């Protein structure tokens, strides 16, 4: 498990979040290129990210975290993702665990997860495939999960649980099963080591099993009605705002790297009497892709900056939260368009193992499969824009829904 840096020390170092992240870039890039078959980040990469305070960039300031502005978060995650999609995805999973857990968990939990101003790392999968039964001031839990991104070095493992009484789910006033998000100690979790995939290979997103145990209620969040216990505006943008912010940032950074690799390929590739970069068709397609990505980047930044300002003023609206979901979906839509343009332009070069173009293509494609980034999220946003009765997106719900666990 990664040793937890004293976050305040890292945050006090010279340089912005972007500068600190960018300084790690060449080392992250070299580690990613050294062995594309590994299923976890290199230990030196995790250590460097930890020492820079990146994993706790969104954790509450009163716990020693950065509680950074959304624009700083976008800078950091997109820069990580530029150098290696797996580093960006792994990083944002742990960052989200620190943010959500730090802002919403009870005192016993934060004392364990943030001991002495350090962050023990928290990550996992909140899909409600586990079971929880109330026993006094605790819950007896167990469950099996997939896609545990960020778990290889996490001290606490996130899981989703349906509350039961006997064999029957307990339902709320609306007739929906009550869902909890819980963080179990790593030593009570069994990992299956089965992350054998095409994209985001280095994230170590193994299946895992939370073994039967009794866990104090402070380690749980009511997913449908989360209560903020500490921190400021960052956590008042909406419960699903931080996951959307971090996913969008990944797409922006990974797509920016793909554009740079495409340009460099075209400059060096012979086409007729000149280079591929001399072709009018490349110049047109490349300019269009750059414009699309810059527009998506501006949309994400403007949307989350406005959401943050509204959260500070207590004026967040569902319409603002819809823009958060829509800007996230657009970042991935643009990323997928760039993937297709690069595949068409680079032909066989783009499919060769060990080529950074191929790695970018795989990582963007894999990231787009997540429920927050998938076509379904865009369809949900479209329903709201069209005024369909009862329409909602993960961002506009008050908490985490059972539907958000689809993947």
Q: Which CATH number, 3.30.70.100, 1.20.120.1200, 1.10.540.10, 3.20.20.80, labels domain 7-117?
A: 1.10.540.10
What lies within 8 Å, CB to CB, of 161 at 6+ separation is 128, 130, 131, 132, 139, 141, 143, 179, 180, 181, 182, 220
From first to last of its 407 residues, what are the pLDDT tens digits of the chain? Answer: 554 555 545 544 547 999 999 999 999 999 999 988 899 999 999 999 999 999 999 999 999 999 999 999 999 999 999 999 999 999 999 999 999 999 999 999 999 999 999 999 999 999 999 999 999 999 999 999 999 999 999 999 999 999 999 999 999 998 999 999 999 999 999 999 999 999 999 999 999 999 999 999 999 999 999 999 999 999 999 999 999 999 999 999 999 999 999 999 999 998 988 999 999 999 999 999 999 999 999 999 999 999 999 999 999 999 999 999 999 999 999 999 999 999 999 988 778 888 999 999 999 999 999 988 888 888 999 999 999 998 988 888 776 665 555 43
Task: Give the per-residue pLDDT at 400.
Answer: 66
Task: Give the per-residue pLDDT at 402.
Answer: 54
Cα–Cα dist 186/77, whole Å: 25
Task: Give the per-residue pLDDT at 77.
Answer: 98
* pTM of the full structure: 0.95
The topology (CATH level 3) of 122-222 is: Butyryl-CoA Dehydrogenase, subunit A; domain 2 (2.40.110)
* Domain extents in the chain: 7-117, 122-222, 236-405
CATH of domain 236-405: 1.20.140.10
Burial of 76 (0-12, 13-18, 19+ CB in 10 A): buried
């Amino acid at each position: 498990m990664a040793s937890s840096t004293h976050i305040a020390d890292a945050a006090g170092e010279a340089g912005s979040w972007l500068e600190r992240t960018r300084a790690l870039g060449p080392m992250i890039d070299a580690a990613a290129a050294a062995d594309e078959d590994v299923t976890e980040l290199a230990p030196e990469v995790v250590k460097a990210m930890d020492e820079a305070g990146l994993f706790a960039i969104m954790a509450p300031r009163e716990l020693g975290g950065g509680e950074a502005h959304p624009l700083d978060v976008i800078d950091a995650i997109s820069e990580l993702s530029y150098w290696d999609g797996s580093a960006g995805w792994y990083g944002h999973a742990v960052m989200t665990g620190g943010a959500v857990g730090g802002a919403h968990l009870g005192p016993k939990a934060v004392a364990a997860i943030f001991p002495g101003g350090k962050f023990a790392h928290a990550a996992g999968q909140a899909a409600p495939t586990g079971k929880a039964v109330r026993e006094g001031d605790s819950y007896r839990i167990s469950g099996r999960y997939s896609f545990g991104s960020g778990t290889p070095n996490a001290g606490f493992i996130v899981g989703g649980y349906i509350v039961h009484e006997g064999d029957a789910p307990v339902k709320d006033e609306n007739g929906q099963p009550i869902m909890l998000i819980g963080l179990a100690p790593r030593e009570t979790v069994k990992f299956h080591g089965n992350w054998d995939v095409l994209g985001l290979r280095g994230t170590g997103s193994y299946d895992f099993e939370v073994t039967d145990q009794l866990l104090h209620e402070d380690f749980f969040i009511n997913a449908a009605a989360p209560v903020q216990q500490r921190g400021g505006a960052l956590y008042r943008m909406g419960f699903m705002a931080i996951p959307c912010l971090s996913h969008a940032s990944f797409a922006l950074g990974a797509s920016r790297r793909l554009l740079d690799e495409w340009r460099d390929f075209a400059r060096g590739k012979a086409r007729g009497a000149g280079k591929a970069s001399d072709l009018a068709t490349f110049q047109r397609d490349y300019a269009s892709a750059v414009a699309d990505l810059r527009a998506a980047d501006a949309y994400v930044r403007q949307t989350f900056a406005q959401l943050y300002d509204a959260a500070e003023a207590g004026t967040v609206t569902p319409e603002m939260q819809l823009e958060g979901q829509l800007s996230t979906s657009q970042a991935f839509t643009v990323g997928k368009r760039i993937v297709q343009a690069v595949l068409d332009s680079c032909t066989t070069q783009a499919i060769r193992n060990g080529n950074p173009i191929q790695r970018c293509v795989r990582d963007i494609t894999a990231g787009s499969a997540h429920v927050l980034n998938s076509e379904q999220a865009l369809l949900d946003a479209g329903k709201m824009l069209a005024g369909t009765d009862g329409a909602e997106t993960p961002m506009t719900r008050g908490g985490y829904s059972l539907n958000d666990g689809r993947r």
